[in-house]
């Protein structure tokens, strides 16, 4: 009973009913103005890209066919034949990358600004879940065009789960492989996998993200922007309309850039052609299979370090992320900023130089 | 590729810079928008430079605008040869005027120390670009005659393809280098324009529209105050009107742009008969492949053994891909004794398919570079943890009898079959 009481107290504190009205959530909200104010736009930007994803994704659904036979051709049909199809598809790919990038930077800056402090724990937790969902979006969407690169990269990605098996005792060691088969819907990647990933990508994940996004946004509006810096901020600006106007202006500019980018540069121009050929279930895996750039920070260490290191690190990371409001309760913002920079530097280095480092250490090429 | 960059990407960058930087400069007023007239510094040369330049370029510009906006009209006009000659003649003379004026202006900037003081590098760049552009224009007009006749059907559609966000270089891709250069430099000039004093082109009309009302002030305190209030009110009203105007135009443009892409998207493509035929063919082929795949699956479910190849067709240095009983890729080789050698081709590391080419007695998995010994399937190096499993097979002779002890001399007649797990 006591536990129940503490729980309800906890929730009441995070979702104060008396504040749940337009007036205090929209009109009275203010945004602090200081050196790090730019970070307040990142979440909104991620949201913009998400909206673009939903809309362009819906458009793509009009022509995409989720079967092993048709998937590749239907994507090709969209890009080559349907008027405006190329732009919409490019937008979907460009904006997916942009969404993940924004989410990552948003995540790092909120950490650096200690935006997880009481009473904002729920914002933080929902944010962590959101970022996981976003990555899953990326992973599941990657398979859908069904070309060499996408299928083979998915294959390798899934096999990492199987590699956990070697550390499990006895009967359990077969478990991860069983799990892969469940995810794939069969012993190898095929129609079942495509159907599952399709359902996950277009129905399950969007529903999940919408629900959690609701909680996330509600608690952001309830508690207002976190102060972000340690000293006292005197300068603030009203959220409505000043901040919102700026926010939307930024959206407009970003949308314009994205639009022009999608018209002029197809995302796939970064891959060598043979990788975007239709998937061939027989025949050797082509050279240069790798995941999308946003998985590099996971992928290259996986390739280089013993696998158990990765498992342990991942476990610690995931649990750690949820415990952040606890662990860093008393940490100074300066330290948090430093940690964020560290993480960011790691991410950039692995993304940009990961391949070079990998080749250097492995001594290939 | 360079075509793509110069004729598609560059225009968009240029227009983007033109719009954003111009707006920025208008808003910030950090720079003056005039051409920073240096009239007081040296009057004579300015006259002999500026007037012919502005007259000449004005006519040229008008000609280009007509070609871009009313190509049909222009084409109709120049179909009469004498009109064509007259137009081209006027154009050429105007170009000469412009060039002459520009050279005078250029020299003035370079020679006079006082004017140099107000001349930035950007001015010199833009002056050189303009000179070059006019030279190129004259070259185009003389080397590839009668531009007024061919441009409306080539350059104009290209320009419209850019402006309507459906870039298409095919109209101009095969044109001579000089013409392409003329087009590219035009974009470069647009790109640099907002950073240079050329921006003064936009200055006049806009300033006029949005400037404060001029109110005559009498010498009375009360009136003065009223005037100030009136001015403030007018200012805020204008402010509101300006932003409302901006937002509505923006929204209208946005919805036009989106509708322009989205409506045809939903309507779908209209394919030619040939395209339809091609797609259908492609689809049929795919279906056949699927049928084959399903047959393979079925075969593996019902048959006790499955034919892979004739033994004589197997090679030692290049494997034949086939599908094993669990529908996974596998490879068939021949060993030195001439007997078959069958491996699963699924890498034991993370399941990529290994290559079928043997190099130095090794098979490669390209994903994370594992090498396998082709004789035994053992791992030689790389992250793969286990050897490639072998696949069980039997040999049959011509009379469909299972061969227990293969006869060396009859190897060429044998056929290779794989057998179901659990059978021996
Ligand atoms: S999958 Fe073959 S080496 Fe990794």
Could you tell me the residue range of the domain that residue B116 belongs to? 2-204
Q: Does the pLDDT at position B54 exceed 70?
A: yes
Q: Domains in chain A and their CATH numbers? A: 38-228+237-294 (1.20.810.10)
B73-110 burial, b if ≥16 CB within 10 A, otherwise e? ebbebbeeeeebeebbeebeebbebbbbbbbbbbebbe
Q: In this structure, what is the dihedral angle of CA atoms B89, B92, B94, B97, given to the nearest 10 degrees? A: -130
Interface test with B, best of A83, A85, A274, A310 (most B CBs within 10 A): A83
Rg (CA), chain A: 22
- Which string of DSSP letters, residue by residue, matches B31-97? S--S----TTT-HHHHHHHHHHHHHHHHHHHHHHHHHHH-HHHHHHHHTSHHHHHHHHHHHHHHHHH
User: B208 with B32: CB under 8 angstroms?
Assistant: no
The best mutation among B344, B365, B377, B385 to test binding of ligand 1, ranked by most ligand atoms within 8 Å of the C-beta, falls on B365
User: A139 with A154: CB under 8 angstroms?
Assistant: yes
Q: What's the pLDDT band for B204 if we cut at 50, 70, 90?
A: low
Q: Which two tokens stand for residue B209?
A: 């529209």
Q: Does the pLDDT at position B56 exceed 90?
A: no
For residues B59 and B101, membership in a common domain is answered with: yes
Q: How many CA atoms lie within 13 A of A192 on its CB side?
A: 10
Q: Does the pLDDT at position B48 exceed 50?
A: yes
Q: Does the pLDDT at position A198 exceed 90?
A: yes
Q: Which residues pair with B417 in a beta bridge?
A: B307, B394
Q: Crossing angle, helix A42-61 and helix A85-112, to 10 degrees?
A: 150
Output the pLDDT for position A65: 93
| Among A343-357, B125-139, B146-160, B369-383, the least confident range | B146-160
State how beta strands B370-373 and B362-365 pair. antiparallel
For residues B169 and B228, membership in a common domain is answered with: no
User: Which of B243, B268, B293 is a domain's end point?
Assistant: B268
Which chain B residues contact residue A162 at CB under 8 A? 350-351
For residues B317 and B369, membership in a common domain is answered with: yes
Angle at alpha carbon of residue A119, lines to A115 and A120, rounded to 5°: 40
Indicate whether B319 belongs to any domain. Answer: yes
User: A191 with A69: CB under 8 angstroms?
Assistant: no
How many residues does this entry show for chain B? Answer: 424
**Closest C-alpha to ligand 1, atom 3:** B368
For B310-316, the CB contacts below 8 A with 24+ separation are B310/B414, B310/B415, B310/B416, B311/B338, B311/B339, B311/B340, B311/B395, B311/B411, B311/B412, B311/B413, B311/B414, B311/B415, B311/B416, B312/B411, B312/B412, B314/B340, B314/B416, B316/B358
Q: Which residues pair with B373 in a beta bridge?
A: B362
Given the cut 0.85, state whether the ipTM is greater than it. Answer: no
The owner of tokens 């003065």 is B224
Q: What is the pLDDT of residues B243-284, one digit of tens each?
A: 788 888 888 888 887 887 788 888 888 888 999 999 899 889
A62, containing H or E segment: none
Residue B51 sits at φ, ψ, to 5 deg, of: -65, -55
Q: A1 alpha carbon to ligand 1 midpoint, in Å?
A: 54
**Interface contact flag, A88 B286, Cβ < 8 Å:** no
Q: Does the pLDDT at position A196 exceed 90?
A: yes
Q: Does the pLDDT at position B211 exceed 60?
A: no
What mean pLDDT value characterizes chain B?
A: 80
For residues B261 and B337, membership in a common domain is answered with: no
Indicate whether B293 belongs to any domain. Answer: yes
For B285-308, what is the mean pLDDT?
84
For residues B152 and B42, membership in a common domain is answered with: yes
B269 to chain A: closest CA residue: A82
Indicate the SS3 state at residue A61: helix
Sign, CA dihedral A103-A108-A114-A119, equals: positive
State how beta strands B320-323 and B305-310 pair. unpaired
Query: What is the C-alpha to C-alpha distance for residues A109 and A341, in angstroms, rounded to an integer?
Result: 9
Q: Of B16, B268, B287, which has the smallest distance from its Cβ to A69's Cβ?
A: B287
Which chain A residues contact residue B382 at CB under 8 A? none
Indicate whether B424 belongs to any domain. Answer: no
Q: Return the closest-CA partner of residue B140 out of B125, B129, B155.
A: B155
- Which string of DSSP letters, residue by residue, matches B109-135? HHH-HHHHHT--HHHHHHHHHHHHHHH
Q: A355 alpha carbon to ligand 1 midpoint, in Å?
A: 16
CA distances from B60 to A250, B93, B133 (A): 39, 10, 12
For residues B100 and B221, membership in a common domain is answered with: no
- CATH number of the domain bearing residue B382: 2.102.10.10
**Interface contact flag, A188 B328, Cβ < 8 Å:** yes
Which chain B residues contact residue A83 at CB under 8 A? 261, 264-265, 267-269
For residues B61 and B193, membership in a common domain is answered with: yes
Sign, CA dihedral B196-B199-B200-B201, equals: positive
Output the pLDDT for position A343: 94
User: Which of B161, B189, B204 is a domain's end point?
Assistant: B204
For residues B26 and B86, membership in a common domain is answered with: yes
Query: What is the C-alpha to C-alpha distance for residues B53 and B130, in angstroms, rounded to an integer?
Result: 11
Domain count, chain B: 4
Q: Does the pLDDT at position B206 exceed 60?
A: no
**Interface contact flag, B328 A263, Cβ < 8 Å:** no
Q: Of B9, B265, B367, which has the smallest distance from its Cβ to A59's Cβ?
A: B265
Output the pLDDT for position B40: 47
What mean pLDDT value characterizes chain A?
A: 88
**Minimum-distance ligand 1 atom for the alpha carbon of B369:** 3
Query: What is the C-alpha to C-alpha distance for residues B330 and A148, in angstroms, rounded to an integer?
Result: 18
Output the pLDDT for position B117: 67
Q: Which residues pair with A31 in a beta bridge?
A: A237
For B59-77, what is the mean pLDDT?
85
**Residues 6 or more apart from B275 whose CB is under 8 A from it?**
A81
**Closest C-alpha to ligand 1, atom 1:** B350
Output the pLDDT for position B208: 47
Interface test with B, best of A57, A284, A364 (most B CBs within 10 A): A284
Output the pLDDT for position A49: 96
For residues B198 and B262, membership in a common domain is answered with: no
Q: Which two tokens stand for residue A353?
A: 């130089």
| Among A45-59, A129-143, A322-336, the least confident range | A322-336
Which one is predicted more confidently, A123 or B257? A123
For A245-262, what is the mean pLDDT?
89
For residues B313 and B397, membership in a common domain is answered with: yes
Asked if residue B363 has a cis previous peptide bond (ω within 30° of 0), the answer is: no
For residues B53 and B153, membership in a common domain is answered with: yes
**Residues 6 or more apart from B114 whose CB is under 8 A from it?**
B38, B41, B42
For residues B226 and B365, membership in a common domain is answered with: no
User: B373 with B357: CB under 8 angstroms?
Assistant: no
Query: What is the C-alpha to C-alpha distance for residues A16 and B417, in angstroms, rounded to an integer?
Result: 73
Q: What is the pLDDT of residues A85-120, one digit of tens each?
A: 888 999 999 999 999 999 999 999 999 999 998 889
Indicate the SS3 state at residue B386: coil
- CATH number of the domain bearing residue B36: 1.20.950.20
């Amino acid at each position: 009973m006591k536990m129940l009481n503490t729980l309800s107290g906890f929730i009441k504190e995070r979702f104060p009913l008396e504040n749940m009205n337009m007036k205090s959530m929209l009109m009275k909200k203010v945004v602090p103005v200081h050196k790090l104010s730019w970070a307040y736009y990142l979440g909104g930007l991620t949201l913009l890209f998400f909206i673009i994803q939903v809309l362009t994704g819906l458009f793509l659904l009009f022509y995409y066919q989720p079967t092993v036979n048709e998937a590749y051709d239907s994507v090709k049909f969209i890009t080559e034949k349907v008027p405006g199809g190329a732009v919409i598809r490019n937008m979907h790919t460009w904006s997916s990358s942009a969404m993940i990038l924004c989410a990552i930077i948003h995540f790092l800056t909120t950490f650096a600004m200690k935006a997880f402090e009481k009473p904002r724990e729920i914002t933080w937790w929902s944010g962590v879940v959101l970022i996981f969902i976003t990555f899953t979006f990326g992973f599941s969407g990657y398979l859908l065009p069904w070309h060499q690169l996408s299928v083979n990269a998915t294959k390798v990605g899934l096999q990492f789960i199987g590699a956990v098996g070697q550390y499990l005792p006895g009967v359990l060691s077969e478990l991860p492989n069983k799990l892969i088969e469940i995810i794939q819907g069969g012993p190898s990647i095929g129609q079942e996998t495509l159907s599952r990933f399709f359902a996950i990508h277009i129905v399950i994940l969007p529903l999940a993200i919408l629900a959690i996004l609701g909680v996330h946004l509600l608690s952001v509006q309830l508690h207002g922007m976190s102060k972000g810096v340690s000293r006292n901020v005197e300068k603030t600006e009203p959220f409505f309309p000043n901040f919102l106007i700026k926010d939307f202006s930024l959206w407009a500019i970003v949308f314009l850039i994205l639009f022009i980018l999608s018209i002029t540069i197809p995302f796939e121009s970064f891959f060598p052609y043979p990788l975007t050929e239709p998937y061939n279930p027989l025949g050797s895996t082509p050279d240069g299979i790798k995941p999308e750039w946003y998985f590099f920070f996971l992928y290259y260490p996986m390739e280089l370090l013993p696998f158990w290191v990765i498992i342990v690190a991942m476990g610690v990371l995931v649990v750690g992320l949820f415990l952040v409001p606890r662990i860093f309760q008393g940490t100074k913002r300066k330290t948090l900023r430093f940690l964020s920079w560290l993480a960011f530097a790691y991410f950039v280095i692995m993304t940009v130089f990961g391949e070079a480092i990998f080749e250097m250490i492995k001594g290939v090429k | 590729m360079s075509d793509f960059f110069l004729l598609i990407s560059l225009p968009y960058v240029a227009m983007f810079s033109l719009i954003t930087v111009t707006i920025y400069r208008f808003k910030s007023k950090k720079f003056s928008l005039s051409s920073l007239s240096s009239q007081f510094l040296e009057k004579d040369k300015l006259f002999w430079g500026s007037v012919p330049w502005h007259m000449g370029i004005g006519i040229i510009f008008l000609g280009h605008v007509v070609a871009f906006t009313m190509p049909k009209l222009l084409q109709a006009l120049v179909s009469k040869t004498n009109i064509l000659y007259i137009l081209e003649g006027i154009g050429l003379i105007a170009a000469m005027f412009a060039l002459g004026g520009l050279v005078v202006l250029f020299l003035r900037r370079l020679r006079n120390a006082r004017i140099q003081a107000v001349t930035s590098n950007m001015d010199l760049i833009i002056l050189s670009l303009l000179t070059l552009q006019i030279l190129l224009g004259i070259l185009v007009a003389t080397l590839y005659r009668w531009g007024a006749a061919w441009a409306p059907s080539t350059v104009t559609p290209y320009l419209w393809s850019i402006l309507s966000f459906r870039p298409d270089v095919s109209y101009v891709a095969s044109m001579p280098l000089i013409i392409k250069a003329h087009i590219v430099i035009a974009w470069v000039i647009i790109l640099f324009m907002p950073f240079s004093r050329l921006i003064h082109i936009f200055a006049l009309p806009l300033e006029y529209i949005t400037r404060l009302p001029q109110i005559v002030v009498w010498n009375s305190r009360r009136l003065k105050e009223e005037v100030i209030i009136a001015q403030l009110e007018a200012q805020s009203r204008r402010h509101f009107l300006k932003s409302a105007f901006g937002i509505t135009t923006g929204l209208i443009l946005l919805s036009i742009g989106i509708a322009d892409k989205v409506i045809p998207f939903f309507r779908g493509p209209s394919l030619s008969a040939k395209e339809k035929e091609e797609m259908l063919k492609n689809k049929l082929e795919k279906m056949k492949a699927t049928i084959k795949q399903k047959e393979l699956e079925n075969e593996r479910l019902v048959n006790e053994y499955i034919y892979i190849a004739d033994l004589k067709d197997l090679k030692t240095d290049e494997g034949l891909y086939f599908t094993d009983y669990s529908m996974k890729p596998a490879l068939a080789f021949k060993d030195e004794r001439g007997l078959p050698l069958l491996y699963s081709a699924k890498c034991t590391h993370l399941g990529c398919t290994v290559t079928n080419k043997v190099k130095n007695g090794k098979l490669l998995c390209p994903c994370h570079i594992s090498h396998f010994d082709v004789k035994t399937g053992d791992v030689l190096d790389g992250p793969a943890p286990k050897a490639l499993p072998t696949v069980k097979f039997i040999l049959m002779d011509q009379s469909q009898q299972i061969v227990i002890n293969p006869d060396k001399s009859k190897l060429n007649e044998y056929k290779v079959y794989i057998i179901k797990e659990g059978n021996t």
